[in-house]
Structure 1
Amino acid sequence: MMLSPTYFRRYDETDDGDFYQSPRLVVHIDEPAIAATTALFREKLPQNGAILDLMSSWRSHLPKGGTATDVMYSRVAGLGMNEVELQQNPQLTDYVVQNLNQNPTLPYADAEFDGCIITVSVQYLTNPVVVFREVARVLKPGAPFITVFSNRMFPTKAVAVWQSLDDAGHAKLVETYYRETGLFTDIHTEDRSPNPRWSDPLFATIGTRNGTLA
């Protein structure tokens, strides 16, 4: 899939900071989809790892460590658009307020994290390959990068190409973001929808940071 700049136009091209100025302390997928997201993270993210929650909000949907089978993390760093939302997130150990569409450079060191997640937000990135390349830079070789998406969105802020595609198209698009960096292997998409008839659909594109320096 060729990525044209026109794909990343939006209905609302005003400053994203204005749109996200007011906190939205709501979840954007239903409870079964949230549970499926947590199960995915429990399965794929490394125990005691340092995790980057990119495009974070007031909930990360990570395992909470409340059961014997849950994993724990040494760090969960959040980067998002609204400080109130980030302050309300009980799983974050630290956070940064940053608009990736204005500044895609992540404020972290090379190979700082053991895993990265983007949860139901990838549709808002206007420079996704640049951001994904930055994710690769801050991940250790072998670390997983998980992009979770559904069919929910703010239509005025979602990029045009996302709105023109179905679920299968979304998967191909996100996989293209990974491949265009040249820095991930084992790129694939998993259907984690808990019940296609009664709950929100849920998909996860996953890539593993390769051993090549950015």
Structure 2
Amino acid sequence: MSTTTQWAIRDYIPRHENWPYTAADFQRMDEFPDGEFYSNPRLCTHIDDQAIHTLSQYYDAVLPRKGRILDFCSSWVSHFPPDLEVAAKSGSLHVVGMGMSQVELDRNPVLSTRIVQDLNAEPAIPMTDPLDAATCVVSIDYLTQPVKVLESIRDRLVPGGQVHLVISNRCFPTKVVGRWLRVSESERLEMVGDYLHFAGYERIEVVTLTDGSGWRDPLWVVRGKRAES
């Protein structure tokens, strides 16, 4: 794992002493059970090829080659780089995929364990083994109880373990939380930083992987760490 970075990184600065959002902020256009919406597998990618390539480079720089990674809101592809795929196949790295579609998870070759769970209905992570890192690709905007989910993950991260929340501007508009559609891209990043802050993470940062110039999909990571002790 390289510590070298080539991306712009800025600190998230907490803005609120108390949780600033209301239940209405997390209401969605489509409130039918998520299991119905995701019952048909979507074997496609939700960001463009350049964004996928850049995300793979980012993962190559920050994710461990040993231990255990949780890829939550996962699907048929996790965008991990070849080194991590090799580590997963060798057994030195255990990748837990948690998502809504058994068919999609079964198609994902990097996963060591597959868990089908609706995090909006059951926000607690059903794991006791420690996690070295966690990832989530363009899906944090679908969670109606993000702080509960992130608290559950934080409790399972090893000290210093990091969660990486990957964000773009692509979404299923009927299923994202309402406030996501009403605010700017920069405010979405702050909102996700708020999630991590109120879930008890430290050293929260916003990483710009691509700015969306040149007709490419923009891509950011909002990340935070469990306290070292």
TM-score category (smaller protein): over 0.9
**C-alpha contact 2:128 2:156 (8 A) present in aligned 1:** yes
Kept in 1, the 8 Å contact 2:212–2:219? The answer is no
Contact 2:60/2:83 (8 A) holds in 1: no
| 2-structure distance, mates of 1:96, 1:205 | 24
Q: What's the offset of the Cα at 1:8?
A: 0.1
Aligned counterpart, 2:38: 20
Paired position in structure 1 for 2:144: 126
Structure 1 gaps of 5+ residues are: none
**Pair 1:35–1:194, CA change in 2 (3 A):** farther
> Which one is further off, 35-44 or 25-34?
35-44
DSSP 3-state at the match of 2:159: coil
Report the equivalent of 1:90: 109
Aligned to 1:177, the other structure's residue is in SS state helix
Q: How many residues align?
A: 207
| Aligned counterpart, 2:158 | 140
What displacement does 1:209 show?
1.0
Partner of 2:6: none
TM-score normalised according to structure 1 size: 0.92
Task: Point out the more displaced range, 113-122 or 160-169.
Answer: 160-169
2:87 counterpart letter in structure 1: M
Distance, in Å, in 1 between the alignment partners of 2:146 and 2:44 is 25
- Counterpart CA distance in 2 for 1:116 and 1:28 is 19
**Structure 1 SS opposite 2:186:** helix
What is the root-mean-square deviation in Å for CA atoms of aligned residues? 1.6
Q: Which secondary structure state, in structure 2, belongs to the residue aligned with residue 96 of structure 1?
A: strand
Shift of 1:195: 5.0
Per the TM alignment, residue 48 of structure 1 is displaced from its structure 2 partner at its CA by: 1.6
Aligned residue for 1:65, secondary structure, equals helix
Instruction: Find the aligned partners of 2:204 and 2:114 in 1 and give their Cα distance.
Output: 28
Distance 2:155 2:22 in 1: 24
1:33·1:194 contact (CA, 8 Å) conserved in 2? Answer: no
Greater fraction of residues in strand: 2
TM-score, structure 2 normalization: 0.86
Provide the identity percentage.
38
Q: Give the whole-Å Cα distance in 2 for the aligned partners of 1:172 and 1:72.
A: 34
Distance 2:220 2:185 in 1: 8
Q: Distance in 2 between the 1:72 and 1:40 partners?
A: 17
Cα 1:71–1:164 shift into 2, 3 Å: farther
Shift of residue 115 of structure 1? 0.3
Q: Deviations over 1:65-104 (max 9, x none)?
A: 29xxx98351110000000000000110111000000001
Q: Secondary structure at the match of 1:108?
A: coil
Corresponding residue of 2:121 = 102
58 and 180 in structure 1: CA distance in 2 versus 1, 3 angstrom threshold: same
Distance 1:85 1:91 in 2: 12
